[in-house]
Amino acid sequence: MQVKLLYDLVEELAGADTGRIVEILFGKKDVNEFLIARKMELTINQVRNILYKLSADGLVSFIRKKDKRKGWYIYYWTLKTEKCLVKLEDSLVSKIEELKKILESRGVKRFYVCKSCDIEVGEEKALENGFSCEECAEVYELADNSGPIREAKVKVARVERNLKLIRGELDVIREKEKKKRVKADKKIAKVEGERKALIKVARAAARKRVARSVGVRGVGMSGGKKGKAVAKKKVLKKVKKVAMRSKASRGNGRQVTGSRKKGKVVKKVGFGGKLKRRFGGKK
């Protein structure tokens, strides 16, 4: 990170002499605001003022924790690296635009200067003043644009260099974030897949139970895919188990069978009733 650039940006946003906060926060996480105040030799309110301004631009984030002994909240601050870089990028882009405007106007416009007051004015203003200085009445001289043009060109080159660095850093951070996201997505997909598989198994088991219980009455053969005639004694045992299980999980066999498959509803309800009578289910 171009800490010096960030330092300047913070001062632009939060006022003179606030850039130092970057050095305290940079590369750290959840920095206690009282520690920041102590290091900057400022009051807690002054520090919070700076941080609120920066947080309005998303450059810092905070968490708060209640101090158990004192009972008040303490804020812990973190510099948001990506946001800082984006903000820097924007700021540098507009700086370049400004400089290019200067270059353009210096290329085509005349400026006039009063050498004794060291004041420069544009052509319109000079005309308005009758080509003599507003302050001292000295006659204006035509300004040499080559100096400001050279200066602006040097600045543009420097800002463009910085912009390139910032963009390079942003690329690195975004690439990392992207990898993290892909990894997280994969994890979510895996968990979801496992959940679906479990549901599938549970459904299959439920269908089997239904098919078996229908089979007992001898009417399930047409409905259930795996409808088989099984020895009555054995099946009855299983039916008992199923009844207990469905009672435990749903409380009422009626609702479940009723909502499943249309054709069997009426008979199943009757069967459910039978089971209840048999095993003493409540109404």
Question: For the range 64-67, what are the long-range contacts, defined as Cβ-Cβ under 8 Å and sequence gap of 24 or more?
Answer: none
Task: For residue 139, state whether it binds Zn ion (rule: CB under 5 A).
Answer: no
Interaction mask 242-261, Zn ion, x per CB under 5 A = --------------------
Gap between the Cα atoms of 209 and 78, Å rounded: 57
Q: With CB under 5 A as the rule, give the number of residues binding Zn ion.
A: 6
Gap between the Cα atoms of 51 and 15, Å rounded: 11
> HSE-up of 237 (CA within 13 Å, CB side)?
4
Contact stretch for Zn ion (CB under 5 A) within 2-10, 15-23, 83-91, 109-117: 109-117
Q: Is 231 helix (H, G, I), strand (E, B) or coil?
A: coil
CB of 79 to Zn ion, least distance (A): 47
CB of 149 to Zn ion, least distance (A): 24
CB of 137 to Zn ion, least distance (A): 7
Contact stretch for Zn ion (CB under 5 A) within 29-37, 76-84, 136-144, 252-260: 136-144
CB of 139 to Zn ion, least distance (A): 9
Q: Angle of helix 146-217 relative to helix 81-108, nearest 10 degrees?
A: 150
> Which are the contacts of 186, defined by CB distance < 8 A and separation ≥ 6?
none
CB of 144 to Zn ion, least distance (A): 17
- Measured CA angle at 237 (ends 232, 241), to 5 deg: 140
Contact stretch for Zn ion (CB under 5 A) within 135-143, 154-162, 164-172, 260-268: 135-143
Which listed residue (136, 139, 188, 198) binds Zn ion by CB under 5 A?
Answer: 136
Gap between the Cα atoms of 77 and 55, Å rounded: 10
CB of 80 to Zn ion, least distance (A): 49
Task: For residue 36, state whether it binds Zn ion (rule: CB under 5 A).
Answer: no
Gap between the Cα atoms of 256 and 246, Å rounded: 9
Gap between the Cα atoms of 32 and 17, Å rounded: 20
Contact stretch for Zn ion (CB under 5 A) within 12-20, 25-33, 91-99, 138-146: 138-146
Task: For residue 138, state whether it binds Zn ion (rule: CB under 5 A).
Answer: yes
**Quick one: 85 or 126, whose CB is closer to Zn ion?**
126
* Chain centre distance of CA 187: 18
Count of CB atoms situated within 10 Å of the CB of 103: 18
Task: For residue 133, state whether it binds Zn ion (rule: CB under 5 A).
Answer: yes
**Quick one: 23 or 141, whose CB is closer to Zn ion?**
141
Which listed residue (14, 51, 114, 239) binds Zn ion by CB under 5 A?
Answer: 114
CB of 11 to Zn ion, least distance (A): 33
The token duo for 244 is 């207990």
Task: For residue 30, state whether it binds Zn ion (rule: CB under 5 A).
Answer: no
Task: For residue 117, state whether it binds Zn ion (rule: CB under 5 A).
Answer: yes
CB of 134 to Zn ion, least distance (A): 7
Give all strands (DSSP E) within the chain, no chain letters.
31-32, 60-66, 73-79, 111-114, 119-122, 141-142
Give the binding site for Zn ion (CB under 5 A).
114, 117, 133, 135-136, 138
